[in-house]
Amino acid sequence: MMRTTWRIGKIFGIDINIDSSWLIIFALVIWTLAGSYFPQQYPRWPTWLHWTVGVVTSLLFFGSVLGHELAHSVVAIGQGEEVRSITLFIFGGVARIAEEPDEPLKELLMAIVGPLFSLVIGVAFGVLWFLTRSLSQPLSALARYLAMINVTLALFNLIPGFPLDGGRVLRALIWGLSGNLKLATRLATWAGQGIAFLFMLGGTWQIFGGRWLDGLWIIFIGWFLHSAASSGYRQVLVREMLGEVRAGDLMSADFATVSGDLTLEQLVDEYVLRRREHSFPVADGGLLQGIVCLHDVKTVPREKWAYTRVSEVMTPWAELETVSPGDDGSTILARLNARDVRQLPVVEGGRLIGLLRRSDVLHYLEVRTALGT
Ligand SMILES: [Zn+2]
- In the reported structure, the alpha carbon of residue 25 is separated from the centroid of ligand 1 by a whole-number distance in angstroms of 18
Nearest to 160 by CA among 136, 177, 184: 184
Most confident region among 3-7, 8-12, 306-310 by mean pLDDT? 306-310
φ and ψ of 207, to 5 deg: -60, -45
Nearest to 171 by CA among 157, 184, 183: 184
* pLDDT tens column, 347-362: 888 888 888 888 888 8
- In the reported structure, the alpha carbon of residue 352 is separated from the centroid of ligand 1 by a whole-number distance in angstroms of 45
Nearest to 185 by CA among 238, 253, 255: 238
- Which residues is 18 bridged to in the sheet? 6, 88
- In the reported structure, the alpha carbon of residue 344 is separated from the centroid of ligand 1 by a whole-number distance in angstroms of 36
- In the reported structure, the alpha carbon of residue 183 is separated from the centroid of ligand 1 by a whole-number distance in angstroms of 22
- Fill in the DSSP letter of residue 317: G
> What is the spatial distance between Cα 28 and Cα 31, in angstroms, rounded to a whole number?
5
> What is the spatial distance between Cα 107 and Cα 169, in angstroms, rounded to a whole number?
7
The stretch 75-95 carries a mean pLDDT of 72
- In the reported structure, the alpha carbon of residue 263 is separated from the centroid of ligand 1 by a whole-number distance in angstroms of 57
> What is the spatial distance between Cα 174 and Cα 167, in angstroms, rounded to a whole number?
10
Superfamily name and number for 247-371: CBS-domain (3.10.580.10)
- In the reported structure, the alpha carbon of residue 225 is separated from the centroid of ligand 1 by a whole-number distance in angstroms of 14
pLDDT of residue 366: 79
pLDDT of residue 1: 41
* pLDDT tens column, 128-175: 999 998 888 889 999 999 999 999 989 988 988 877 889 889 999 999
Most confident region among 53-67, 232-246, 331-345 by mean pLDDT? 53-67
> What is the spatial distance between Cα 200 and Cα 208, in angstroms, rounded to a whole number?
12
Domain limits, the chain: 1-157, 159-244, 247-371
- In the reported structure, the alpha carbon of residue 165 is separated from the centroid of ligand 1 by a whole-number distance in angstroms of 5
**Sheet of strand 92-97: strand arrangement:** 5-11, 14-19, 83-89, 92-97
What per-residue string of b and e applies to 67-96 under the rule 16 or more CB within 10 Å gives b?
A: bbbbbbbbbbeebebebebbbbbeebbbbe
- In the reported structure, the alpha carbon of residue 2 is separated from the centroid of ligand 1 by a whole-number distance in angstroms of 25
- In the reported structure, the alpha carbon of residue 174 is separated from the centroid of ligand 1 by a whole-number distance in angstroms of 19
Q: Looking at the predicted structure, is the pLDDT value of residue 118 above 90?
A: yes
- In the reported structure, the alpha carbon of residue 366 is separated from the centroid of ligand 1 by a whole-number distance in angstroms of 31
